[in-house]
Structure 1
């Protein structure tokens, strides 16, 4: 995102804004950052570029969706939905929404006495839906960070996902882990200004300048 994305009106309003106090500019910047993050998250979830075009579809394949599981943990029967398995230095961890506690919980796999039921579905990515859409992790406030001060606004992805986000945003090549094979990804603009974003920012600037 840079100044070239903005209209002459927006740039003129920004120049006038320089006369406001640092605290006033910082407050306005936080409002702009909040709304801009919201619109970018909505676009990623809708699988669209800032200009309104759809993301290039990934090649049709089958993905495994982890629906739910039941297991015995420390003598208790627990039920999770939308679970996932990850490896840590201390062992494999299963995380999911705990139906009994009504919150997300994590369990070390080694602490589970036995599994009662594990539900998995295979879904084709040829039909986009909530389960198969791309960038589900990136399209969350946890991973799309915002910062604002009296000099401007920044949206960026968290360090742990910034690399993969850049590969898709710029359409770069990525080497497959453990193999001498590179994959060329199509460009999918994850962040940017839509015409509606620019119009909204102009209105925010006009409202601010009118009231100060």
Structure 2
């Protein structure tokens, strides 16, 4: 994946350097927003960038009061909201990532690290779930947007 990004940077870098700084910033912001939308959709669908489904949650007791069974909600329901998934695009770079406390949660799942579910709970190793990452469709949409922007 890194090789694809390097190749894309080499291909588009020369052309992008010829653009005015304002045009470059505008292009970077639109690319960042497009990437955020694709990441949001992928997280809502519970899929890794390679297309595989996220690792399932560990089973847990979902009974509250007697006779009631809670439904187990999907993982990361609020994570893809724009208030948590921020974009930044200027003339030099594009960034799509999480902020605040949510960033820690996303990092633990992204890399399969150890964390506590609650205060005073035992440390648990989480399964790796790639919350952020490039798909082939993302790379193609970046190439397409660059081509349309540079040809106009």
Question: Which of structures 1 and 2 has the bigger CA Rg?
Answer: 1
Aligned to 1:50: 49
Which is strand-richer, 1 or 2? 1
Give the conservation status (yes or no) of the 8 Å contact 1:14–1:205: no
Give the conservation status (yes or no) of the 8 Å contact 1:17–1:25: yes
How many residue pairs get aligned? The number is: 148
Question: Alpha-carbon deviation of 1:24?
Answer: 0.5
Aligned to 1:193: 134
Task: Provide closer, same or farther for how the CA distance between residues 46 and 189 of structure 1 changes in structure 2, counting only shifts above 3 A.
Answer: same
Aligned to 2:112: 171
Aligned to 1:205: 146
Q: TM-score, normalised by structure 1?
A: 0.64
Aligned to 2:30: 31
Question: Alpha-carbon deviation of 1:16?
Answer: 1.8
Matches of 2:145 and 2:63 in 1, distance apart?
Answer: 44
Matches of 2:16 and 2:84 in 1, distance apart?
Answer: 30
Task: Provide closer, same or farther for how the CA distance between residues 184 and 5 of structure 1 changes in structure 2, counting only shifts above 3 A.
Answer: farther
Matches of 1:138 and 1:51 in 2, distance apart?
Answer: 20
Matches of 1:122 and 1:199 in 2, distance apart?
Answer: 41
RMSD: 2.2
Question: Tell me, which stretches of 5 or more residues in structure 1 are unaligned?
Answer: 66-119, 126-131
Which is helix-richer, 1 or 2? 2
